Structure formats: structure tokens, C-alpha cells
Chains A and B, each alone.
Chain A
């Protein structure tokens, strides 16, 4: 009886949906979430869109690659990828680099009291510069963060099939969840986290309260830089490391930050997941889930082999559509964010 019930379920199709739909969305959504949190924190404190954020992720991944080359032969450490074990170093280096970039390029403009759009333009300049630097030292080819190439794969049997997750993917999802929790406690419990929210709320009042704006700005870059490096490293572990690793995903990351309500860290996390899932479901082949219904459908309805909202090659338009929809129906984002003046 029970076996009959199980057998009647379209197991193969369901597990395919979990693997290619739910998990795939969760994986790319995690990368977007980690990036979008940085973008939204920087916007909340410094009031400008940081276009170089994607390349900060790439730089972080390359720092991890250098660490792996310097300290190990590329073999795994305690069963974990060397790049993941050494990721804290990459995060620290990228955090310092982010503070340095701010000191060198953005702080002088703030002191000159330029309009925010000027700083946005300068961040595009920084983006091009970082892209050039990466290509100068690493070339234009692809790199493997994990030597050997064979990733540990976790299989969870379900309905006679396997739900499949590679180790880097599991680490990415786990890290993102931990980062979200840690960020929540940092922002609501720590003195510096509360000061960051205060500066985001009302910078003038923060200043007259004696809050050191400089240290808040430094903390913001450190967090944004560290999370960017983690996102870059984990993404590179999942796919491959190449110079345009994260430049390609800066658009969905901005979409996630705006959808979540710009300046809202929790919104950015939710926005990242929303964009990740929407993108994945938009290109998912729904025919797989519909085909088991064929026997019950009348003959003249023939389920085609491929039903997707958007062809895979056009995946990049999905964040655009989400952006447009949100800006029309809820201009300040899902979580009420800042109105950009």
C-alpha cells in the first residue's frame, strides 16, 4: 500500500525540481544576499551606489586563491576546501582593501562635498581599475580554487532518488545563514552596530551625539568587504574563478538591494533570495513537473518538452523585470527603504 503510494509519486520529477529549482535558487540567492547586504549597508551609511562591489567579490576570491597557493598545495584541509579554510584571511585582506579604497578614492570626494552621483561615477572608475588589476596579475583565463577538481558531493536519498548538493554549495548556504544571524546580532546588540543604524537613520544627529562617523564608515567597509570576499570565494568554489566572476552578477545584486528596500540589511537578504529564486524559476523547465500529468489530460493537450518563462540565455533580464515591477508597485522596496533623493 505504502510502496504503491510512493511509486505513484513522480519521484524523479520532484527530486529534479528540488535540485534544479529550490536548491539552485537557494545557492545563487545566497550569493546575491551576501553581495546585496554590503551594497545596502554602504548605501545606508554613505548614500551612494557602490558599483565596484562585484569586483570586490572577485578580488576577494583571488586573494583566497593566492592564500591557497601560498599556504597549501591546494589539497583539502580537514575535509574542507583549502580556500574555505583560508577564507577568513581573504575576508580580512579584502576588508582592509575596502577601507583603503574608501580612504583613497571616496573619502576625498566626500570631504569635497560632491553630489552622490560623482561618487557613484568614481566607484565605476574603481570597478574598471580593479578589473584591470585582476587581469594584469591573473590573466583572462579561468582558475580552479580547488585543486584536483573533484568536489565532495552530499547525497540525500529521497523517494528513491538523490537530492544532490556539492560541498561548496552546502558551505555557501550555511555561511550565508550564519552571516545573516551574526549580522542581526551585530546590528541590534553591539555598540558599533547600533551606531551604524543611527548614522543610517540620521547622520547629522549622529554627529552631534558624538558618534565617530569615521569609525562607523570603517566598520561598514570592513563588513561589506569581508562579506563580498566570502561571497566571491564561495561562488568561485561552486563554479570557477575568472576575472569577470562577479561583474556579471552586479545587476542582480543591485536588484536585490533595491527590491529589499535600499539601506535595509534584512531586506537585502530577502531581496537576494527573491531574485535568486525568481531567476531560477524563470528559466526552470516546468515541463518536467507537468509531464507526469499527461495521462490524465485529454489527448489534444500535448505538453511540450520545454516550458520555461525565459530561455536560459536571457536569464539576466529577470532581475530587470523584478526591479521594474517593484519600482512600479512598491518603490521603496519590500521592506520600506530609503527614498533616494
Chain B
């Protein structure tokens, strides 16, 4: 059974819809990547999935359970975690406090999860007492992802995790995403760096105008000359 099954999603911010029938399906332990030009509805798809805007048509199933239009607070308990593109840390809280806030819904002892996050992102361990707002962009992204992992989600949603990062950090973040996925967490991410992202995707979705244009495995999409020509900046 699919971990996530979004079918025929229509949604918008009031007024005209931005999504006009998006379909996303990924299986457990897979990495799904959404790419496409600006205004294609990539981030909007994640927001609709995470209950941040109203879905007017279509259904979203998580592990077979209908989660369409559930509130974000409830979705966190259902096993979804969301890392927004910007403003994704609590700047005056320390790194460790940011992670604790990720575990707000847990009433059990989550010490071992903090250690696990430090295992994924070793630089954070040294900076655990430092305010997250003082960290570099790449380290802030690590805090944001670490915070989202504290609920032990089934599916982690990442909105452009490498936006604005130097190539060095970009590679590091992609490596960490593969490691986190290998540890059993499904991942659905929106990426501007389409080529690198599709290279690590089990499932790729090319959106344009609020609809699916191409859907396939990451390798299929990378090999498709139409996709390459229209969306990956020429065939190279």
C-alpha cells in the first residue's frame, strides 16, 4: 500500500486555484521529488498536503487513512513532519531547545532521539547551546530537519531544503536526506536543483500550471529528453 496517495488535488489561497488536479503517490521508505518551473504549484502541493491551505477537491491518503484538510497539529500526530523553506527554526531558542520543540507532542523520554539527530548532523552537537538564529544557513537547515525528525515521522516533507545554500552544504544536505531515508523515513521534497534531486529520487513528479506533466522514477525522468529539454535547462 502506498504511504502517501494524493489524487486529483485542487487547492488555492481563495480565489483561483493554484493546483488543478495534482497526483502524488509514494511508497513507504521512498524519496519523492517534486520539480517544475516557478509558479507550478510545488510548494503549494506540500502546503495543501500539510493542511496549511484548503483542498477544495481530491483526497489525500496517508497509510490508507484519509487526512484531507486535517489541521497541521493533527497531522503531526498522524506521522507527517514539515520543514518550511524559510523561517524554519526558532531563532532565539538554542539548537537543543529547537529539537525539544519538535518533540512537543511527545510525553515520553525523547533523549535518544536528540542523540539520533546529532548522529545525522554532528555539527549540531557542538552548537547545542547556541541560539539557532546565530547559525549559518546550512546549519539552520540541519536544525530545521532535526526538529522535524523528533516526532519520528513516517513521511518528512521538505520545501526546497537546499535553497540559498552553498554547493558544499547542498551536497551535504542531500547526503543526509539519503541517510535519513535509509533509516526508514519516507521523504517528499520540492527542489529547485532538479537534476541533483531527481538523481536521488525513487519517484519524480514534474508539475507545471498546477498539474502533473511527467511522473516516473527519478532515473526515468532524468533520461526523458522531453523533461530534460523543458525542465532541466536543456539536454546538456
Could you tell me the distance between the alpha carbons of A228 and B96 in the complex, rounded to whole angstroms?
32
List, in ascending order, chain B residues with CB within 8 A of A205's CB.
Answer: 84, 87-90
Do A211 and B101 touch (CB < 8 A)?
A: yes
Could you tell me the distance between the alpha carbons of A3 and B90 in the complex, rounded to whole angstroms?
61
Do B104 and A197 touch (CB < 8 A)?
A: no
Quick one: which of A16-71 are within 8 Å of B by CB? none
Do A210 and B151 touch (CB < 8 A)?
A: yes
List, in ascending order, chain B residues with CB within 8 A of A209's CB.
Answer: 76, 101-102, 104, 147-148
Query: Which of B72, B91, B93 meets A208, CB within 8 Å?
Result: B72
Q: Which residue in chain B gives the minimum CB-CB distance to A192?
A: B104
Q: Would you give the 0/1 interface string for A184-210, flagging 1 where the beta carbon is closer than 8 Å to chain B?
A: 000000010011011001101111111
Do B50 and A208 touch (CB < 8 A)?
A: yes
Do A212 and B101 touch (CB < 8 A)?
A: no
Q: How many residues of A contact B (CB 8 A)?
A: 16
List, in ascending order, chain A residues with CB within 8 A of B77's CB.
Answer: 210
Q: Which residue in chain A gives the minimum CB-CB distance to B144?
A: A205
A197 CB to nearest B CB, Å: 6
A317 CB to nearest B CB, Å: 34
Could you tell me the distance between the alpha carbons of A212 and B52 in the complex, rounded to whole angstroms?
15
Q: Is B205 part of the binding interface, using a Cβ–Cβ cutoff of 8 Å?
A: no
Q: How many A-B residue pairs have CB under 8 A?
A: 59
Could you tell me the distance between the alpha carbons of A204 and B148 in the complex, rounded to whole angstroms?
14
Query: Which of A191, A201, A204 meets B93, CB within 8 Å?
Result: A201
Do A198 and B50 touch (CB < 8 A)?
A: no
Q: Is B73 part of the binding interface, using a Cβ–Cβ cutoff of 8 Å?
A: yes
Do A201 and B92 touch (CB < 8 A)?
A: yes
21 A-B contacts (beta carbon < 8 Å): A197-B92, A198-B97, A198-B101, A201-B90, A201-B92, A202-B90, A202-B91, A204-B87, A205-B84, A205-B87, A206-B101, A207-B72, A207-B73, A208-B50, A208-B52, A208-B76, A209-B101, A210-B76, A210-B77, A210-B104, A211-B104
List, in ascending order, chain A residues with CB within 8 A of B90's CB.
Answer: 197-198, 201-202, 205-206
List, in ascending order, chain B residues with CB within 8 A of A195's CB.
Answer: 101, 104
Q: Is B182 part of the binding interface, using a Cβ–Cβ cutoff of 8 Å?
A: no
Q: Is B191 part of the binding interface, using a Cβ–Cβ cutoff of 8 Å?
A: no
List, in ascending order, chain B residues with CB within 8 A of A202's CB.
Answer: 87, 89-91
List, in ascending order, chain A residues with CB within 8 A of B151's CB.
Answer: 210
List, in ascending order, chain A residues with CB within 8 A of B52's CB.
Answer: 208
Q: Which residue in chain A gives the minimum CB-CB distance to B74?
A: A210
Q: Which residue in chain B gives the minimum CB-CB distance to A263?
A: B92
List, in ascending order, chain A residues with CB within 8 A of B101's CB.
Answer: 194-195, 198, 206, 209, 211
List, in ascending order, chain B residues with CB within 8 A of A197's CB.
Answer: 90, 92-93, 97
Q: Which residue in chain A gives the minimum CB-CB distance to B157?
A: A208
Q: Which residue in chain B gives the minimum CB-CB distance to A336?
A: B92
List, in ascending order, chain A residues with CB within 8 A of B91's CB.
Answer: 201-202
A312 CB to nearest B CB, Å: 40
List, in ascending order, chain A residues with CB within 8 A of B160's CB.
Answer: none
